[in-house]
Structure formats: C-alpha cells, structure tokens
Amino acid sequence: MNKDRASSSKGNVNLNKFQPYKLAFEKDSKTLREEALKAVPEEERLREDAYKIAVKSASAKEHVYPYIPISTNWISPIEGKYMHLSSEEVMNFYLKNFTDPFLYPKDFLYYQEILTYTGSVQFDSTIRSGGEWAFSKAYIIKVITPEQWEGDLYRFKEIVPDTKYPHRNKLYFNYFDYIKAWDIALCYENRQRKHSWFLQFKELKTLNFPQWFICWFANWGLYPIILPHKIRLIYEDFVKTNVSMKAHGLMFTALYQIPWIIRWDVVVSKRTFQKLGESLENIPYVGRRILIKWWDKFEFFKDSVFSVRGIIDLEPITPTKSKSKKEISEVLKELLSSASKKDLKNQIKELLESSDDEDEEMMSQNTEHSDPMQDAQDPYQ
C-alpha cells in the first residue's frame, strides 16, 4: 500500500512538472550521467530531471540526449479558474493556432517570410502526411544590426507577394517586426506536439551581433549545459583564451557552426510581481517553455570548424607602448656614469625645469578643454 502510494506520488510529481513528455527512466542511468556534460553544482538537479524525461531511444544501446528546459517566455496572465486545466487545454483556449495572440492576424509564416526576404535565415521543413511539419531546419546566415538597416527603423518595407499568402496583396514590415520575427518564426507546433527545430549558423560574414540578438540567443540558443563532456572542455578552453569576450556561448556556437535542437511547450505557473515594496502574488501565467538538446549526429571533432582551426583566439593584440621619453632612473644612471659633479648639477637643474614646464602646459590644456557645463545645475533635481 505504502509502496504503491510512493510510486504513484513520484509519478504524479514528474507528470505535472513535465506533462508533455513521457517518462522514460533509463535502466543504465549511470552510463547516461557519465557521458553527459560536466555540470556545475547548480546545474546538477536540472540535468538529472531532464534525463528522467528524455525521449526514449528506439535502440537500447543508443545514447539518448535529453531536452533540457532552458528558458520561458511568459505570454499572458490567465484567469485563476482555468488553472485546473492541462497545459494543452490552456494553450488551445488562449492560443489556439496563433503563436502569440497579441500579434493576430500575423502568424509564424509572416515572420518567417521577413527573415527569408532579408536573407537572414534559410528555412527547410519536412512535411508528413496530412500536410503538417514533422521537423524543420533554420540556417542563420546573417543578423542585421540597426546601423545596417537602410532608412528609418520605423519605416515599413514591402515584401513581394508570395505563394504562401495568395490572399494578400502586399506584406509590410519594419525593423521591429524583424526583431520580433526571430521569436515568432520558431513558434510552429503540430497537432502531435512533437515538432522540433534544427538550428545552425552558416556562412556568417561578421560577428557583430546587436544586443537584442544576444538576448534572443539567451532564450533560444545553445547553452553549455547540453554539451557532451569532451566538447565542454573545448568550450572552457575557448573561454579562457578569450577572457574579455562577451557572450561566450553565442560566439562559440557561431564560430564553430555547432547545430542544436530546440522544441517548446506551454506551461502554466504562478508568478509574483513587486512594485515599491508591494507585491501581487500567485498570478497565474501561461508561457512558452523552450527546451534544447545536443544533436547526437554531429561529429564536433570531425565536422566542425574546430577540426581545421582548433581553439580560435579572438582577443585583440595589445600594442606595446613605445617609450617616447626615458625614465628618470635611466637618465640619472647615465648622468652619474658620464658627467662630473658640476655638469651633473647643471643637467639635473635643466631636467627639473623642463619637467615643471610640462606640468604647467598640461594644467593649461586641462583648463582649456574643461566641460563648460560641468557647474550647470540639473533642471530635474
């Protein structure tokens, strides 16, 4: 009785937490853990939970890489009376076929068209019987920065009518639609709730990523927690080699053209909002949970840029400063070895007078270039 209750309780906890996935408790869990990445302590629990919900392999000998929940994009608050519904029922009620209800009637196809039209992403989807997508690929070719955008960021550009939109005459978008496209273009889901995306950087000509794209990658991109142990060590060497670099995960993924797999599901959770010490607690929210995993068909040491270039060093070479003037200690040593006491006194006197003149000149320049508004009062204080 107690045994049944314990097993039932354990199953209920996992099912509620990871509802869209089947429980697949692997027999050889020790092997899975050993082949996994070397996680830091705060990642251990997340990784252990992820392996419990790993999609079961068709072959018992095949290593299974799990989907790991990496981030959640919260979409909308929901009424408390709908909290008892399953995640899928909440999605059907609030989202239906729209990836984001606040963007209707624009759908994921509209945003995919933006990325295709700008030459930013190449999409390729495999269609199963019934016309739905089984899985899709997205190759990232370029990311347009605000400086590279032609014209006003708010001004709309026209997309030539496409066969995907036979009922529409024209499509328009601006730079902010372009930013939004990177999120919404990946929000397709089929009826089986099994659609996945294969993502990879390809043919990038520049690594100048705008800040909003760095944020996008933090939500949707590869994270070191999914890297197999040997590749995790390469990543750590890359970080040590490029200490001052920002967004190491993004740069590592882009430079080595490492593919990763993502999927998403819908979760309902209570959130707390605070403002000036007051808080609104337990507000039910519906959100899109993003899960990523390693692609086990990718041979990093054979198929990636690493096999040709090894550890890539992008740290700028610091130029050595040329000494325009000798240090005083060096000058004194030369004077002591080559001059009489009388000459030495005269030369030291000239050296000190020259130093005083330079100090006065620097003080004069600082006064001339001082900020004329530095003493002005802030009108908003």
Contact 54, 24 (CB under 8 A): yes
Q: Which of 288, 295, 227, 289 is nearest to 261 (CA)?
A: 295
Whether the pLDDT of residue 380 is over 50: the answer is no
The answer to whether 226 touches 292, Cβ cutoff 8 Å, is yes
Instruction: Kindly indicate the confidence band of residue 376, based on its pLDDT and cuts at 50, 70 and 90.
Output: very low
Longest CA–CA separation in the chain, Å: 107
On whether the CB atoms of residues 224 and 250 are closer than 8 A, the answer is no
Strand partners, 196: 135
Give me the residue spans of the domains in the chain. 8-66, 67-309
Share of residues in the chain with pLDDT > 70 (%)? 63
- What's residue 379's pLDDT? 34
Cβ neighbours of residue 21 closer than 8 Å, sequence gap 6 or more: 53, 55, 67
Give 285's contacts (C-beta < 8 A, 6+ positions apart). Answer: 74, 75, 76, 77, 78, 268, 269, 270, 271
Q: What is the pLDDT of residue 352?
A: 66
pLDDT tens for 208-237 read 999 999 999 999 999 998 988 888 999 999
pLDDT at residue 238, rounded to an integer? 92
The whole-number pLDDT of residue 16 equals 35
Judged on CB neighbours under 10 Å (0-12, 13-18, 19+), 347 is middle
Predicted local confidence at residue 142, as pLDDT: 95
Bridge partners, 159 (sequence order): 171
